[in-house]
Amino acid sequence: MDRGQLIETMQEILGPEGVIHEREQLRTYECDGLMNYRVIPDLVVLPESAEQVQQIVQTCYDEGIPFVARGSGTGLSGGALPVESGVLIVLTRMRRILEVDIPNGRVVVEPGVINIWVSQEVADEGYYYAPDPASQIVSSIGGNLAENSGGVHCLKYGFTTNHVMGAEVVLADGSVVHIGGGKAPDAPGYELLGAFVGSEGTLGIATKITLRILRKPEAVRTLLAAFKDTEEAGGAVSGIIGGGIVPAAIEMMDALTIEAVEKQVSPGFPEAGAILIVELDGPEAEVANQFDQVIKVCEENDASEIRIAEDDEERALFWKGRKAAFGAMGSISNDYYVQDGVVPRTELGAVLKKIADLSEEYDLRVANVFHAGDGNLHPLVLYDNDTPGEADKAEELAGEIVFACLEHGGSLTGEHGIGRDKMKYMPQMFTADDMDVMQLLRCAFDPHRICNPGKIFPTPRLCGERPGPFHMHPVQKAGLAENF
């Protein structure tokens, strides 16, 4: 099938308004939220229903054409980077909330639904959808599913994977499966849904997703505490969590971040070496009691100032400052590189020191803003693209930072994913066997590797027969099933 025929076939499935094939238009899809890698897709298709997705994938499978699924295109690891001579399946027109089931605490959505719409849809009933990545106002549930998105509240409430209860998935061969129990718990069989969530679009395309919603907490209290440096703030974090408190969120910003945020959105943060924002939620009595404990711990760790949000407005202001941090870097640096790494909480101090050393060694500023509760760091390496060589230097430094995370028992990524960007680092965290075994899963879902190829794993595994004696499946032996 040549390109013209492919366009025609896709137009038959989707109508002319669902197929993008002009070069200039295709170019707007050549990267997602990460601009470092760009590939012009052969074709972009915009399905409006699961049936259309199935037909698109079936066509790709029959013709051996690779495809990549994409939601809002906000990913920061190049997970939705198109594949050359491939089809980009953009799910932004599949944005219906299909069902709200309050008695079972479930909402069923299409993949293009924006994260925050789910909470809005059930807000009047007193419910919300817990995972709240910083991009929740724009990122889609399908994309959240692919990346297993976190958010500031995931320390207490868990990640996307803990809130997705079922999915209808179009597999690479065009077949449709329903994995996870959906409304019913504990579906028998392998935890295919758990494996699918966070697979970065390499195992299939979710076309219908069942989410769990939670009752809004009875009380929410937020404070902001200023410290001399990140070490003292880190001491407070350890004190809070060591005291048996599970805060809804606990976020840290260093001096450089505070400076940038002040310049951009002026939340009126105190001048300090580090700031913590701590939020507790839950039943009134519990929150009140533990909030006093948090204040005590901050005082014990020599907080220079503690501000308690007196109302929703002040609380929103704290969060505004925190959430604007990435974008605000533009006010103190021309360019910046967002890193995403994880360290065990107890190693935070050591790793922050290492980052400071690296910053000095490379002569580049690094701003730190992170989810302190779960050790998820977002160092922002500041550089200037116009200074020759500085971009490369920044990337190298960012790489050194994740290696430091690994050395201290952490991970390459806490929420942005491996995607295209961190493929090269995978061997630092996993052995060849680890990655081979992971790819067995890929081989089961997508033996021909047409579903988002060239992501996560630096060396693709062939899915052919493995060496060793061949055993016919007993079901086959018994004549109960054909070869599968």
Instruction: Name which position in 307, 345, 354, 449 contacts another protein (CB under 8 A).
Output: 345
Task: Supply φ then ψ for residue 124, to 5 degrees.
Answer: -65, -25
What is the DSSP code string of 395-442?
Answer: HHHHHHHHHHHHHTT-BS-SSS--TTTTGGGHHHHS-HHHHHHHHHHH
User: Does position 474 bind another protein by CB under 8 A?
Assistant: yes
What is the DSSP code string of 289-314?
Answer: HHHHHHHHHHHHTT-SEEEE--SHHH
Q: How far is the CB of 361 from another protein (least distance, A)?
A: 25
* The one segment of 15-23, 351-359, 361-369, 387-395 that binds another protein by CB under 8 A: 15-23
Instruction: Name which position in 150, 379, 453, 454 contacts another protein (CB under 8 A).
Output: 150
User: Does position 189 bind another protein by CB under 8 A?
Assistant: yes
Instruction: Name which position in 2, 310, 313, 363 contacts another protein (CB under 8 A).
Output: 313
**Closer CB to another protein, 27 or 353, in the complex:** 27
User: Does position 255 bind another protein by CB under 8 A?
Assistant: no
* The one segment of 2-10, 58-66, 245-253, 389-397 that binds another protein by CB under 8 A: 245-253
Strand order in the sheet with 19-20: 19-20, 43-45, 87-90, 67-70
User: Does position 418 bind another protein by CB under 8 A?
Assistant: yes
226 neighbors 188 (Cβ within 8 angstroms)? no
* Count of residues that interact with another protein, criterion CB under 8 A: 180
What b/e readout covers 241-277, taking b as 16+ CB neighbours within 10 angstroms? beeebebbbbbbbbbbbbbbbbebbebebbebbbbbb
User: Does position 275 bind another protein by CB under 8 A?
Assistant: no
Q: Helices (DSSP H) in 324-389: which residue ranges? A: 325-328, 348-362
Q: How far is the CB of 109 from another protein (least distance, A)?
A: 9
User: Does position 124 bind another protein by CB under 8 A?
Assistant: yes
Give the separation between CA 296 and CA 307, rounded to whole angstroms: 13
| Residues in 18-57 that interact with another protein by CB under 8 A | 18-20, 22-25, 27-29, 31-35, 44, 46, 48
273 neighbors 230 (Cβ within 8 angstroms)? yes
**Residue keyed to tokens 């809004």:** 216
Q: How far is the CB of 218 from another protein (least distance, A)?
A: 5
Q: How far is the CB of 426 from another protein (least distance, A)?
A: 7
Strand 219-227 to strand 335-338: parallel, antiparallel, or no bridges (unpaired)? unpaired
| Residues in 73-102 that interact with another protein by CB under 8 A | 73-74, 90, 92-93, 95-97, 101-102
Instruction: Name which position in 52, 207, 222, 230 contacts another protein (CB under 8 A).
Output: 222
Please choose, from the candidates 73, 42, 74, 38, the residue with its C-alpha nearest in 3D space to the C-alpha of residue 56.
Answer: 42
User: Does position 232 bind another protein by CB under 8 A?
Assistant: no
Task: Supply φ then ψ for residue 94, to 5 degrees.
Answer: -100, 80
User: Does position 381 bind another protein by CB under 8 A?
Assistant: no
**Closer CB to another protein, 47 or 66, in the complex:** 47
User: Does position 235 bind another protein by CB under 8 A?
Assistant: no
